[in-house]
Amino acid sequence: MQSTTGSVFRVRGGNPISGRVRPQGNKNEALPLLAACLLTDEEVVLNNIPPIEDVLLMQEILRSLGATVEEVQSGQPTRIRVHAKNDPTGDLPAELATQLRGSVTLAGPMLARNGRVFMPRPGGDRIGRRRMDTHILALQALGANVKTFPDGYELHCEQLRGADILLDEASVTATENAVCAASLADGETIIRNAASEPHVQGLCRLLNSMGAKIEGIGSNILKINGVEKLKGAPHRIGPDYLEVGSFIALAAVTGGELLIEDADLENLRMIRLVFSRLGIETRAEGDALLVPADQNLDIVTDLGGAVPRIDDAPWPGFPADMTSVAVVTASQCNGTVLIHEKMFESRLFFTDRLISMGARIVLCDPHRALVMGPSPMTGAVVSSPDIRAGMAMLIAALCAQGESTIQNITQIDRGFSRIDERLRELGADITREN
């Protein structure tokens, strides 16, 4: 892992992004899988784990709790072995957990293994309020007692017991916490309004390989029959469909032809549908996805010529984490589209950086942006506020004329492994400088 503190990207736009690329493992699957390794005293082997900042930070948290984390294969793909032979010791380290939103997924495994956990308030992207209520309510339903403190939450229980739980929102991480805790609870648990994203499905498949009994994977109702003990198991993390979507946008707005290998086409159905409404064609070629060169980029209006809308939704809807990329992509397309980001009230504030580069965007309110394209972009000095906005600004810089400087690139490195090196291999003019 290279240090990114104080580093910037220098980008000269105008080069087509072309060639072949293989997406990294799914970051949002890797984090809860690492947490789930604490549910057993046997070894768990995780394949295709992305060597990115957030994942490496999660590994450090596991080590601080007494687990052994070893890299048994480096490069792409990366394989690691995790062994929590002894019960995790101590509280979650606040100095690490408060940097990482994904640290919240340790609550369910720690509670199930130890009967107690102190969970510091998690960190991560500053994109708006991110509720902890659903996590707490689900774990309380399973028998946890909860005390709230200014710096976090203390949970403890004598014995977790199965329950019929209706989540008040289809929260991904709350579903993951509840599934992990219920796997070792006494009796049957039903989780209704469960999240069903591919990374939730991946976690459930790992748990079943470890001996859990989970039914309904991929649906919004999960049934879990608790078991006394879980064992070790191997698991391969699926490709990161958010990175695939970012590469589709990169190729389309720069005019390049890109073949994305091992793309997991089944999980790209809505992303491909939304991009098609922006005039972007993609073609399946076996397990790969081809983005042809020189797209027409004509936005498809709604019936009667009405302005179309792209809005995010729980799976299988358009992922919230793709809305930033959709905004910058739409700015290079012919026509007008309304982007409606329903989940986080601060995510769209990054659009002022795009406007400074020449994009024609009206931020209607914290959740809606009207994008009118195409807008010629020019290089500028911008800063990355979060992972997804950072990638959006990188896309803007690569299709802009002139040089751009992107600051605070540690945000991009949190979610995308060696992105500058991989983009150079595809024709980008990008350097990392201190």
Which pLDDT band, with edges at 50, 70 and 90, does 127 fall under? very low
- Using the predicted structure, report yes or no on whether residue 238 has a pLDDT greater than 50: yes
**Taking the domain 8-24+239-433, which CATH number applies?**
3.65.10.10
Q: Does 147 or 121 have the greater pLDDT score?
A: 147
What is the rounded distance in angstroms from the CA atom of residue 108 to the CA atom of residue 101? 15
Is 25:49 a contact under the CB 8 Å cutoff?
Answer: yes
Q: Is the pLDDT of residue 246 over 50?
A: yes
Lowest model confidence (mean pLDDT) among 58-62, 268-272, 359-363, 385-389: 385-389
**Which one of the listed residues 54, 125, 386, 420 is annotated catalytic?**
125
Length of the chain as a residue count: 434
Mean pLDDT over 234-246 rounds to: 97
User: Is the four-CA dihedral 327, 330, 331, 335 of positive or negative sign?
Assistant: negative
Say if residue 125's pLDDT is above 60: no
Task: Give the contacts of 344 (CB within 8 A, at least 6 positions apart).
Answer: 127, 128, 129, 130, 320
Buried b / exposed e over 196-229, threshold 16 CB at 10 Å, is bbbbbbbbbbbbbebbbebeebeebebbbebbee
pLDDT of residue 150: 86
pLDDT of 74 > 50? The answer is yes
Q: Is 60 exceeded by the pLDDT of residue 1?
A: no
Domain spans, the chain: 8-24+239-433, 27-236
DSSP class of 80: E
Residue with tokens 């007692």: 145
pLDDT in tens, 343-399: 877 789 999 999 999 999 999 999 999 999 999 999 999 998 889 999 999 999 999
pLDDT at 3: 45
- CATH class of the domain defined by 27-236: alpha beta
What is the predicted pLDDT for the residue at 94? 85
pLDDT at position 61 is: 94
Residues whose CB falls within 8 Å of the CB of residue 142, separated by 6 or more in sequence, listed in order: 157, 160, 161, 162, 163, 165, 178, 181, 182, 185, 189
Q: Is 125 a catalytic residue?
A: yes
Domains 8-24+239-433 and 27-236 share a fold: yes
- Can you tell me the distance from the alpha carbon of 339 to that of 5, in angstroms, rounded to the nearest whole number? 32
Q: What value does the mean pLDDT take over residues 76-101? A: 86
Which structure tokens are listed for 112? 């199930």
pLDDT tens, residue by residue, 156-178: 998 999 999 999 999 999 999 99
